[in-house]
Each structure stands twice: as structure tokens, then as C-alpha cells.
Homo-oligomer: A and B are copies of this chain.
Amino acid sequence: MPTRAKPLRKDAQRNRDLLIKAAQELYAARGLDVSLDEIARTAGVSSGTLYNHFPDRADLIGAVFADRAGTVVRFAEQALAMDDPWECLVHFLERICELQAADRGYNDLVCRRVPQAPPTEGHVRGYELMKQIIERARDSGALRSDVTLEDMAFVTWGTARTVEATAHVRPQAWRRQLALMLDGLRASAAHPLPEPPMRPDELADIMRECS
């Protein structure tokens, strides 16, 4: 089945691409708070055209980051191809955090008050692969047995603000934070945890709401 139900007119497609490109660049550089007017201006079209293609702000964000789920899936697959289960986990988390560090928009998306990204099938697949990564690392005895997939959100959230804060002065600082966190995730480091892990549905709620 082909992608488009309605084959977009030539100029319309061109403008759509220009808008997504402009939005992508502005988001990457300055986060998701860029005004829609500025995106239209940067793309060289009028604001009306923007609203024509993307009625809601979320539509534009969705279009810009549509491929990101696929990128994450690729990272996960690359990681799973590695021999050592622990290295696999480390490699995957590093890649994710690099993505956050390289794109402020994506960093925001991770859980800022963003007008709702719709959960695609790519997300589901990424979720499955991440589960594999975690389970493999845990079964190998390298990852502590009391952490869950949901705990990985702590890595992401933890990195998120550090990336923002240190972007200008020390853009690699998050690597140090991640390394400290990883040392805390090793089975050999395990001490009892105070709070039960988040349930999958709780995490889904959190991702969805972002009040």
C-alpha cells in the first residue's frame, strides 16, 4: 500500500517539505518553543500555508519527528547485534543521549509540555527492542535485577536537563552523568531501592499527559 491517499500537488509538496525542513532546523537549534510564524517565515511561505498543511501545532511536530522512532529502532537493532549484553545496553543508551544532545527539539520531545505526539507502530517496535536489550542485560547478570525498562526513563530525563544546562559550556558533560548512572545500574552496585518501579501504564500516562 502506497503512502499517500491524496497525491499532493507539486507546489504544495514543495512547501510542505520546506516547512518541515525549516521546523526541523529551528527545533533542533532552539527547542520546540519556536513560534509558528517564524517557522513559516524561515520556510519562505506565509503563515496561512503553514496552517493549511498543519492545522495543529502537534501535526507539525509529528511530521518533523516522524522518522525519529525509526532512528531509535535502528539504534536498538545495532545495539542488539553486539556480543556483550552490558555493552549492548550502554551503547544503546549512549546513542539515545547523543540524539538528545544533538537536537534540542528531540530533547524537549522526551517529555516537555508538548501538544501530544501520537504513538505510532514504530514506537511499539522500539519498545519491544528496548525490552529485549534490558532483559538480555539483566539475564546476563550485568544489569541489576531490580531495575525495569521503565527505569530507563530516568536516564533520559536525567540527561535532558543536563544537556540544556551544559550545552554551551560543556556539551559533553552528560556523558559523565550517564557514566555515573550506568555504574548505579550494574548488578554489582545494587542496594535496595526505596520506591517500586513505575508500571508500564504509569509511564504511558506520563508520556501522554505532560500536563
Q: B-contacting residues of A (Cβ < 8 Å)?
A: 111, 147, 151, 153-154, 157-162, 164-166, 168-170, 172-173, 175-177, 179-186, 188-191, 193-198, 202, 205-206, 209-211
Contact = CB atoms under 8 A, between A and B. Distances in A.
23 contacts: A111-B161, A111-B164, A151-B176, A154-B158, A154-B173, A154-B180, A158-B158, A158-B177, A158-B181, A166-B206, A169-B198, A170-B206, A172-B195, A176-B193, A176-B197, A179-B193, A179-B194, A180-B184, A180-B193, A183-B184, A183-B189, A183-B191, A184-B184
A191 B182 CA distance: 9
A111 B157 contact: no
Given A158-B177, A158-B181, A165-B210, 16 more contacts: A111-B161, A111-B164, A153-B165, A154-B162, A161-B161, A166-B198, A168-B209, A170-B202, A175-B194, A176-B195, A176-B197, A179-B193, A181-B184, A183-B184, A183-B191, A184-B184
A195 B175 contact: yes
Contacts of A170: 195, 198, 202, 206
Instruction: Say how many copies of this protein the assembly contains.
Output: 2
Contacts of A172: 195
Contacts of A179: 191, 193-195
Nearest to A165: B111
A91 to B, nearest CB: 13
B158 A157 contact: yes
Contacts of A190: 183
Contacts of A184: 180-185, 189
A172 to B, nearest CB: 5
Contact of A160 (B154, B161, B185): B161
A172 B194 CA distance: 9
A129 to B, nearest CB: 22
Contact of A165 (B157, B159, B168, B186): B157
A128 B157 CA distance: 29
